[in-house]
Structures are given as C-alpha cells and as structure tokens.
C-alpha cells in the first residue's frame, strides 16, 4: 500500500529534472526565452476622498452613588417580669420510646426466595446479570442478603462479608 504513490512521484521528479537539464543554454541564462518586464502602473483618476471622520462621543458618566441608608433601629426585648413571681419550671420532654425492632426476616430457603432480594441488591449495578449470579450464590450459602443496594455487609455476618474469590476480591455484592 505504501508503494502506490512512489511510481507517480518518481515520474514527476524525472519530468522536472529532464525539463530543466537542457544543455543548449548557457549556465545562468533563463532557458525559456526572454523575460518580460512588469507592465507600467496605470494611473487611475484622482483618488476619492476618504469618508469624513466620525466623532465618537464618550459614554455619559455613571450617576452618583447613593449613600447607604442607616440600619433600622434595634428593638430591645421586653424586660423580665418582676422577681416576685417564679415561672413554672419547664416540663421535662416526653420520654422517647425505643424504636420497635423490625420483625425478624425469615432466611431464604431456596433460589426462589433469593431472587427478589438480590434484584433489589443489584438494581443499580452496572452489570446486573453478573451481580445477580454472585448474589444468589452468596444468598444460598449464607442464607442472607443485606438490605439496600450497597454496603450493610455487617448485617449478614462474617459468612457474607468475608466470602472472597480465588483472587482475594469480595465475592458477594
């Protein structure tokens, strides 16, 4: 492919070299005849007058800046009531009830139980099929899938968190 333009280039170079290599002319003389002098300049009618200069008016000066208005007067809070009356002590905040623990989720028993949990887990994954396959494997072995799309590995214990591939990477999404 690289040699296709080479014959064309060689022919062009040969043509140029043979046309300039005439031995009938003296060295330094122009081989193709007499050199013509440039034509004399043509005097045109008197040049037209340039356009009259336009006067540029400077932009008007900006209006003078207004002095800032004084800040509004600060109102003082009312003075405390007489010392004779004691206000009642603030009532203690209502006691917070401890959060109700979520009912324990029954662990998945087969692949059909793992699939919906893994679909939630792998919803945002870039490669969903790969994620679903790994998640289902981890679900069947560890009987658990962490809640949410990412993280929360501690919810399923060491089995899910520490399962790795042969290369040492985490296996469970």
- What phi and psi values does residue 139 have, to the nearest 5 degrees? -65, -45
> How many CA atoms within 13 Å lie on the side-chain side of 78?
3
Distances (CA, A) of 72 to 67, 68, 76, 79: 15, 12, 13, 21
Is 60 exceeded by the pLDDT of residue 27?
A: no
Is 70 exceeded by the pLDDT of residue 142?
A: yes
For the chain, domain boundaries: 111-162
pTM above 0.85, yes or no: no
Please give the DSSP secondary-structure letter assigned to residue 170: B
Distance CA 145, CA 115 (A): 10
Distance CA 77, CA 150 (A): 52
Q: Label residue 80 by pLDDT band (50, 70, 90).
A: low
């Amino acid at each position: 492919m690289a040699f296709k333009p080479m014959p064309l280039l060689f022919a062009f170079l040969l043509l140029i070299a043979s046309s300039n290599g005439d031995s009938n002319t003296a060295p330094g003389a122009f081989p193709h005849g007499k050199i013509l002098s440039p034509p004399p300049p043509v005097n045109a009618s008197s040049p037209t007058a340039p356009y009259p200069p336009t006067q540029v008016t400077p932009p008007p000066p900006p209006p003078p800046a207004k002095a800032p208005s004084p800040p509004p007067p600060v109102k003082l809070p009312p003075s405390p009531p007489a010392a004779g009356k004691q206000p009642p002590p603030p009532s203690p905040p209502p006691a917070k009830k401890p959060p109700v623990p979520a009912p324990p989720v029954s662990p998945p028993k087969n692949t059909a139980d793992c699939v919906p949990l893994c679909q939630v887990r792998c919803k945002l994954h870039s490669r969903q099929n790969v994620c679903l396959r790994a998640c289902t494997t981890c679900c069947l072995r560890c009987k658990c899938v962490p809640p949410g799309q990412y993280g929360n590995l501690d919810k399923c214990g060491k089995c899910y968190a520490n399962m790795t591939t042969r290369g040492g990477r985490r296996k469970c999404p």
